[in-house]
Every structure is written in structure tokens, then in C-alpha cells.
Chains A and B, each alone.
Chain A
Amino acid sequence: MTFATVKFRSFLPAATFAMAAEFLMGLSDSVICGQILGETGLAAVNLMQGVFEIVTFVGMMATVGTSVLFATELGALHVRRARGYFTLGGLSSIVLGLMIAAVLALVRTPVIAAFGASPEVSAMTSSYWLYYLPAAAMQPVAFFLGTMCYTDGDAKLSFVSYIVQLGGNCLLSVPLTMAYGAAGCAIGTGLGAFLAIVVLLFHFRRKGCMLGFSRHFAAPDLLRMARTSFGDASKNMGKSILMFALNAYVIAQFGSQMLPVLAVVVMTIGISEVFDGVANAAQPLASVYIGERNTFLTKRVMRVALVTAIVEGCGVMLLLLAFPDLMLLLAGVSDAATVSEARIAVRLVSVALTGLALVLLFNSYYVFIKREVLSTVLTLAAVLVAPLALFPIGGSIWGARGVWLALGLAPGIAIGLFALCLLAYGGRSRFPFLLPVGREDALRVFDLELEPVAICATSAAVAEHLAENGVDARRASKAALLVEEALMVVRDRNAGRLIRAEVTIDLGDGLTLFIRDDGEIFDITDADARVSSLRSYLVSNLMTAIPSRRNLTTTGFNRNVFKL
């Protein structure tokens, strides 16, 4: 297994869990209200889905661009620029959070009236909406800090914050809902977000924390961040519009009694959020590789991510086809007619999950490679345009079941059409990653486990490759020496552990050597590091002899860059 695969898989559980926690957080209020307040509670919170998506959209607008640009700038070793983006993103999350809470306060009454739901459902939605406003202000900040903490390599704390937010939300929302109804549930959600923010602030005390404040930003950076964010965040905006449209359509065509079934459908489609964990797991690696213009490794990590997304999407789809009642249990649906319809609905919409897994992966990927327009087009086509175009047609042919079927088929149809357009635009050689052709000729990657035999074989292979490519013997030997000594030092520092490493030679612009390892975090490029052996003495002297060297400190893996 390669370094990229191993690291991707090590990031995947935390990233998937974070997204699962996020999905459950979005779901928790529906579940709590459904279980405690019955199907009216479930329908009332379902009317809020569009609002939840808008709040997420706002949080993502402040976060996604910051996260990608922060990682890319760090990849290019521009620490002050990276921190400038972090500062700008942090400020944006606070301002946007306050702004969205204010806007939601203003539009509450007219929007609820526009749904035309039954008075009982409308009253409950109104109460929930009012007390949800503090949560709407805090969630963008919690989302921003959680994502940045993860991007900075602290997957553990990011994971803990999700647990705290989800656990806090559930533990507080249940008694509060029992005491105060839907309003109590919304208060619990706000308290959960507050607790998550408190937990995430501990990241700033950690060794290796690269997040920090800097005034190194300018107004155009805000535009760049917004443009980068929009590609990814557009899915939430699309989903928000779709939710408002679906709720209004279902109430108008089938009455408020169909809202609990729609709530189950929305929950089922919402599972796709978990698949965003695949892109999030790929991001720390892909962003760095893209920053290095390493097309070979970018493709490698994205291919692993692609397979993972398909496996996850198909796996969940098969699970729901076999056991649709899982969703019904979660929603607390018990009425016989609703159960029967919801069971069919779950099966029909579960078909959408594999397509959505792919959409989410490429939505993020195209943002990574700064093809934000492409990302937005793909996402809006799959989560908004295709479903919006198809569900009224399905509804007119086959009633409610036609709507569910249309929602199930829409992402697949959209991604199929998009793939055809992409093939026509980029050609087969660049499909689907759209990376520059020919760059790989300058790159050579070696993967190894840090054992002496493998280290020395890699060192020899580096020397041989450089000689074959016309690099003079002196530089080739120095590169080989650096590989052996640096990796042996890493091995010595991680005695008893199996460490993986990745060595890349880039002959695109002179000779650049990238050495990555997943051992203990330390800066091997520090020429003043403590010398404890002849090997560390040689490494220290080598560092002095190579003036163009950089270490990227991250809590995820070591990355050292040498220009020889």
C-alpha cells in the first residue's frame, strides 16, 4: 500500500465520522421532535430543512475556501499567507453567522406562511425557528473551527468537537423538548454548537498548530475565498432551494399528511452528506499534491477516493434497499399508511446515493484544482436542476411515488450528462481529473516502509533515476545521501513503529526532492537540531549545505522539501 493510500485511509474514519456526526446533527432535531412530539413534530422540523441548508451554506462560504487556500498556501510553504486566509475566514464566519441569524429573524413569518402547511405544523415550525436563531449564528463559527482544525491535521480534536456537539445537542435537546416542545429542541442545538466552539479552541494550545492570525491578506483574497467556497457550498444552496420547493409542492399536491414521508425521504438523501467524508479525507493530501503540481500523486489519491466513494454509495444503497425500515425507525414514523409509503420512498430514493457520493467527491475535487465553476455546475445540476426538473414530471405521472423516483434518478442522470460534456471538453486523457498532461514525465515517486533495506534501495534508485535524467553525479549522490540519512533518522526516531514514507523527485524546475513520512512530527531541516549520532551530525551538516530547504509542520504528516 502506498503512503498516499495509507494516509487517506487513516484520515477516512475521522472524516467520515465527522460528516456522519454532521448528518446526525442535522437529523437529530428531526429524530428528537419525531420521537417526542410525533409526526407533527417531524413534519415541523422538516419544514426547517431549507433553513438548515442555508445556515450550512453560510458556514461553508466562510470555511471551504479558507480550508483549501490555507492548505494550498501551506503546500507552497507560504505560512503568513495561509494564516491571512485563516484570519479572513474566521472573521467571515462570525460576521456571516450574525447576518444569517438576522435575516432568518426577519423572514420567519412570511416564509412559514408561504408553505401553507396545517396550522399545527406551522405553529410548531415557527416556535422552533425563533429559538434556532442563536444556533444559526454560532454554527458557521463551529463549522469553520472544526474544519480548520481538521485541515491543520488535528483530526482527533475535530472528531471530539463533533461528539461534543452531537452529544450535547442530544442530551440537552431531549429534556428541553419534553419541557418546552420544538423550541426546547432548537435551544439544545444552540448549546451543542457553543460547546463545540469551546472544545475547538483547545487546538490553539497544541504543539504543531499552524492556525494563527495574520494581517497578511488583502481584499481580493476575500473574493478568491468566496469563489473557492461557492463551488462546494453551492450544493447546500441548491439543496436549500430544492427543500423549499419540495415542501411547497408536496403540501400543495398531496397535503400536509405527506410531510412525514417527505421527511423520511429527506433523511435518506441526507445520508449522502456522510460521503463528503471521502473528499475531506483526500483533501489534506490532494491539496498539498496540487500545491506541488504533482499530478501523479494527485491522481493516485483521487483514484483511491473515487473507489471509496463508489463503495460507500453502493453499500448504503444496498443496505437501504434491503432494510428501508431503518430510516422509518430513526424518524419515529408509526402510522400504518405513512410506514407503507415511506418504505417504498426510501427504496426509490436510495438509488440516488451512489451518484451523490460521486457528485460530492468531484464537487470538492474541482474546488481543490480551482475549477470552481465546474464544481458549481456539476453540483447544481445534480442536487438542484435535475431533481427540480424531474420531480414535477414524476409527480404528474405516478403521484408521490413518481416524485421519490425522480429524486432517486436525478443525480445519476446529471452526473452522466456531465461526464459526457467533460469528455467532450477535456478529452479522454484528462478525464475526469482535468490535470495538465505531460507533467508526470518530470516526476518520479518512490513509496516505502522505513526498513534499512528499503531505504537504501530507494536511495540507490534515486541516484540511478537522476543519472539517467542527466543530473550530474555530485547532485545525484547528494540527493541519494539525503534520502538515506533523512529516512534513517526518521526511522531511528520512531523505533518500534512501522513508518511509511514517500519520496518524490521533481525535475520540472531544477531538482526538487520531497520527502514525506507519517512518523513523529519533527523538523528534519533544522540545522541546529540536537546531534546525538554520526548520522544526525551528517544530516545537520547536510542541512547547512542545502540552503533551499523547507519543512511543512502539520499534525498529519512530515513533509520536507529540498531544492538541490
Chain B
Amino acid sequence: MEVKTKTEGSKLTIAVSGRVDTVTAPELEAALKFGDATSVVIDLGNVPYMSSAGLRLLLSSHKTMLGKGGELQIANVQPSVKEVLAITGFSDIFNLA
């Protein structure tokens, strides 16, 4: 798994590629530092697979951003990951783009 971050003013984009599973999730967790960003986009365009370990990170990021009055957007979700979000009912919680 690979994580790339890009900051443009108060907007932070985190592009993830590869599988997000129990083993790789801690790596992603370490990268999910939002600092002063008020708008965060997590780009899952290159994530073909995500397990509950990844979902937990998305939920916790969502909660963090809500807490600081910011916005979290999850972008380019692949159909297989979208299905996981649908199965769990989380697609209604997240702002999917």
C-alpha cells in the first residue's frame, strides 16, 4: 500500500493506492494526520479492497473532522469498496465524491 499527501492551503488530499487490510491499515493510520486542514479528501481511486480495518480509519477520520468543524470527502471509491460501504450502511455517513 502507498499513501501520498498533497496540501493546498487548508485542503489536504490523501491518495491511497493498494489494499487496505489488517496489516496495511496501521501504515495508513500513521499517514492520516490532518494538522490544520479544514477540508480533507481521501482518494481511494487506487484501492481495490478495503476491510474493516480500513473502515475503522475512515470512521475515525470522519469523527475527527466533524469534531473540528471541517469536512471529509472520500473520493473515487471503486465499486468493490463501495459495496463494503453499502453492506455496512456507512455509505450514508460519508461524503462520497
Binding site for B on A (CB under 8 A): 452-453, 455-456, 459-460, 463, 473-474, 476-478, 480-481, 484-485, 488, 534-535, 537-538, 541-542, 544-545
Contacts and interface: CB of A to CB of B under 8 A. Distances in A.
A477 B87 contact: no
Nearest to B56: A534
Contacts of B89: 541
Interface residues of B, number: 22
The 8 closest A-B pairs by CB, nearest first: A477-B80, A538-B52, A456-B23, A535-B52, A456-B21, A452-B22, A541-B87, A484-B51
Nearest to B53: A535
Contacts of A477: 48-49, 80-81, 83-84
B19 interface: yes
B48 A473 contact: yes
Interface in B39-91: 48-49, 51-53, 55-56, 59, 78-81, 83-84, 87-89
Contacts of B55: 534, 538
B83 A474 contact: yes
A473 B79 contact: yes
Given A456-B22, A474-B83, A481 B88 contact: no
A460 B19 contact: yes
Contacts of A485: 51-52
Nearest to A460: B19
Contacts of B59: 534
A476 B83 CA distance: 12
Contacts of A484: 21-22, 51
Nearest to A476: B80
Given A452-B23, A460-B21, A463-B49, 19 more contacts: A452-B22, A456-B21, A456-B22, A473-B79, A473-B80, A474-B80, A477-B49, A477-B80, A478-B80, A481-B84, A485-B51, A534-B52, A534-B59, A535-B52, A535-B53, A537-B88, A538-B84, A538-B88, A541-B88
Contacts of A480: 49
Instruction: Count chain B CB atoms within 10 A of each CB in A456, A473, A485 and give the residue with the most.
Output: A456
Contacts of B22: 452, 455-456, 484, 488
Contacts of B84: 477, 481, 538
A481 B48 contact: no
A452 B24 CA distance: 10
Nearest to B22: A452
Contacts, number: 64
Interface of B: 19, 21-24, 48-49, 51-53, 55-56, 59, 78-81, 83-84, 87-89
A222 B78 CA distance: 55
B96 to A, nearest CB: 17
A459 B21 contact: yes
A474 B82 CA distance: 10
A22 B50 CA distance: 54
A460 B1 CA distance: 12
Contacts of B19: 456, 460
Contacts of B49: 459-460, 463, 477, 480-481
Given A455-B22, A456-B21, A538-B87, A474 B52 contact: no
A253 B88 CA distance: 82
Contacts of B78: 473
B23 A481 contact: no
Contacts of A481: 49, 51, 84
Contacts of B24: 456
A485 to B, nearest CB: 6
A456 B23 CA distance: 7
A480 to B, nearest CB: 6
B56 to A, nearest CB: 5
A483 B33 CA distance: 30
B80 to A, nearest CB: 3
Contacts of A476: 80
B94 to A, nearest CB: 14
B14 to A, nearest CB: 21
Contacts of B23: 452-453, 456
21 contacts: A455-B22, A456-B19, A456-B21, A459-B51, A460-B19, A473-B79, A474-B79, A476-B80, A477-B48, A477-B80, A477-B84, A478-B80, A481-B51, A484-B22, A488-B22, A534-B55, A535-B52, A537-B52, A538-B52, A541-B87, A544-B87
A544 B19 CA distance: 24
Nearest to A453: B23
Nearest to B79: A474
A534 to B, nearest CB: 5
A544 B87 CA distance: 9
B17 to A, nearest CB: 14
A545 B87 contact: yes
A478 B21 contact: no
Nearest to A488: B22
Contacts of B88: 537-538, 541
B87 A542 contact: yes
Nearest to A483: B51
A453 B26 CA distance: 13
Task: Tell me which of B52, B55, B56, B87 has the highest count of chain A C-beta atoms within 10 A of its own C-beta.
Answer: B52
Contacts of B52: 485, 488, 534-535, 537-538
